[in-house]
Amino acid sequence: MEENKNTTAAFIVTGALLLITALYAMADNNYMYLNVYIWFGVAYGLMLQYGRFCFASASRDLFAAGVPRMAVGILVALMFFSVIQAVLMATNMSTFHPAPMGIQTIIAGLIFGVGMVLAGGCASGSLYKIGEGNGTSILSIMGISFGQAFFVTVGNKSWVPQAWIESSTSKAWVPKDKVVSWFDYYLTGFIFDQPTTQLSKTATFKDMGVAKYFIADSLINSIIPALLLIVIIYVFYSKKPFISKRQRHNKKNPDNQLALSGIGVQFEGIWSMITASTRTTIMGVIIGCTAGLHIFVMKGMQMKYHVTNFGQLLTQMGHGSDVGAFGNVFDPGYWYITTQEAQFAGWILDKLGYNVRDSVFFGVVNGLPELWRNPALWMSIGIIFGAMILALLNNEFKFKPPKGELIVWGLVGGTLMGIGSRPGLGCNIGAFFIRAAGGDPGGWVFGLGMVVGGFFGVKFFNWWTERKMASEMVDF
């Protein structure tokens, strides 16, 4: 009975998404651009939910429970994505661009890492968990959204060093009336001055033809570090349980003894770790490939419409108020979370009369489109509903309203993720996953910060749960 109800609900959600797609297609041919984002979002949502794919789990479950499934799943996804990304770069079909890297990258990763452990999910994980009925994740996303919107619009030039002000003022192309908040000076006077690195474009590799994308970006920047990390994780977290499991087997089966040492055993152990959670690892492979396909399709859409940004289509359609000072809106061209959530909160604040448009973040770089014309926001909505469809079909959907301490963890964690994602120019996806797989070493720097932040978050929760267990178990 309940199963039938859930299946019906899954069909209703799917039908609603199809209807939205049809309405956009009928309204204007240009909106097919939005439809592509919607359905890639749905695909990510389905895969994230099925694979229980959450970047917060990677460090959290490793440090808290000794479980490496998610860390391994992410590294597998990263390797596959990097190969596809290299193919796209080699064929000039990539929308990838590296981002500036500096001390701020690791600090931002650290703040983000603490936040994602407290919130119980990373930026993409919180979206798919909303689709499972997790009310705490709704609060996390609100924290991410409003945390960012306030972070980029508060303060003024008195908050920043004189050097940033001078550097910002010296840039003739920067619309001066939009440089108001501290973050505006941070972006235009500090971040925009920092170099970006894509390994294939450095002096060592740039003359190697198309092979540079596979050797520098994929092999050196992604695959080798990912394989090394898999070995390190095995040695520190999986080797002992793997050998103990074999020892238990040998004790129970005197006639069927398994080897306990030797290089072959260690390779078996690593393979056993990789395949321990089939659904996570398989989804890692498929997510990696899908993220690559997404870039390919978005590039194809841009070629079809003869644009480099959806903002140009919005302007053609007469929606000039949606775009930033240079006619662009946030249109990453690949899997990305957080900036669109900042736009969601910015849109609400704008409607409430709070001036967010006089800022570099909303007024120049990303624009502030109406919610129904925001391409990347549709990707986030797609993730929620994609996850919801699968959770309903598997009878795993249950609405869990946020209660008690979870309200605090959701809001505080989400806000920290929002604050961490802005100076880092992205979240676990945009600042780590896409960058590390695309040949930008800065992705690993953000990732390192995220793992260290996750470690501190776990330390806190360990202390907290011990305390609660002690009070609950006082009678034993």
Partner 1 sequence: MAMKFDKISDGVYELDVCGFVCPHPQLYCKKSLQKIESGDTLKLIFDNASSGETIRQMLDQQGDEITAETTEGGKLVWMIEKG
Nearest alpha carbon to residue 226 among 171, 270, 259, 260: 270
Q: Does 67 engage in binding with partner 1 (CB under 8 A)?
A: yes
- Is 8 a binding residue for partner 1 by CB under 8 A? The answer is no
CB 107 to partner 1: min, Å = 24
Q: How many CB atoms lie within 10 A of CB 178?
A: 20
Q: What are phi and psi of 165, to 5 degrees?
A: -65, -45
Q: Give the Å distances, CA to CA, from 163 to 153, 171, 193.
A: 20, 13, 11
Interface pick for partner 1 out of 230, 389, 406, 450 (rule CB under 8 A): 406
Work out which of 248, 320, 321, 372 binds partner 1, going by CB under 8 A. Answer: 248
Question: 171, 279, 319, 459: which one contacts partner 1 (CB under 8 A)?
Answer: 279
Question: Any contact of residue 466 with partner 1 (CB under 8 A)?
Answer: yes
Q: How far is the CB of 271 from partner 1 (least distance, A)?
A: 15
Q: Which of 94, 218, 277, 343 binds partner 1 (CB under 8 A)?
A: 277
d(CA 234, CA 226): 12
Q: Is 467 in the site for partner 1 (CB under 8 A)?
A: no
Among 41, 115, 120, 367, binds partner 1 (CB under 8 A): 120
Cβ pair 206, 212 in contact under 8 A: yes
Q: Phi first, then psi: give them for residue 191, nearest 5 degrees.
A: -65, -45
Q: Is 61 in the site for partner 1 (CB under 8 A)?
A: yes
What residues does 366 pair with on adjacent strands?
A: none
Which listed range, 53-61, 217-225, 335-343, 441-449, lies at the site for partner 1 (CB under 8 A)? 53-61
Question: Of 304 and 467, which has the nearer Cβ to partner 1?
Answer: 467
Name the residue among 379, 364, 299 with its Cα closest to residue 326: 364
Rule CB under 8 A: is residue 465 a binding residue for partner 1? yes
CA atoms within 13 A on the CB side of 468: 7
Q: Residue from 85, 104, 105, 137 that binds partner 1 (CB under 8 A)?
A: 137
Cβ atoms within 10 Å, residue 9 = 16
Q: Which is nearer to partner 1, 244 or 257 (CB)?
A: 244
| Site membership for partner 1, residue 83 (CB under 8 A) | no
Identity of the residue, 238 or 339, whose beta carbon is nearer to partner 1 in the bound complex: 238
Q: Is 13 in the site for partner 1 (CB under 8 A)?
A: no
Please report where in the chains the tokens 């039938």 appear, as a residue.
4
Enumerate residues 6+ apart whose C-beta is below 8 A from 371: 344, 347, 377
Draw the binding track, 183-222, toward partner 1 (x: CB under 8 A; -: no contact). ----------------------------------------
265 binds partner 1 (CB under 8 A): no
Question: With respect to partner 1, which residue has the nearer C-beta, 155 or 241?
Answer: 241
- Beta carbon nearer to partner 1, 97 or 239: 239
**Is residue 246 a contact residue for partner 1 (CB under 8 A)?**
no
Kindly tell me which of 165 and 265 has the beta carbon lying closer to partner 1: 265
| Contact in structure between 317 and 24 (CB atoms under 8 Å) | no
Q: Which stretch binds partner 1 (CB under 8 A): 77-85, 164-172, 368-376, 389-397?
A: 389-397
Tell me: does residue 35 bind partner 1 (CB under 8 A): no
Q: Which residues contact 366 (CB under 8 A, 6 or more apart)?
A: 324, 328, 329, 330, 339, 342, 343
If one asks whether residue 366 binds partner 1 (CB under 8 A), the answer comes out as no
Q: Cα 86 to the chain's mean position, in Å? A: 20
Can you spell out the DSSP letters for 12-71?
HHHHHHHHHHHHHHHH-GGGHHHHHHHHHHHHHHHHHHHTT--HHHHHHHHHHH---HHH
Instruction: For residues 332 and 329, give the distance between their C-alpha atoms in angstroms, rounded to a whole number.
Output: 9
Residue among 216 and 458 whose Cβ is closer to partner 1? 458
What six digits make up the tokens of 163? 């050097």
Binding site for partner 1 (CB under 8 A): 2, 52, 54, 56-57, 60-61, 64-67, 69-70, 117, 120-121, 129, 132-134, 136-137, 238, 241, 244-245, 248, 276-277, 279-280, 391, 394-398, 400, 403-406, 458, 461-462, 465-466, 468-469, 472-473, 476
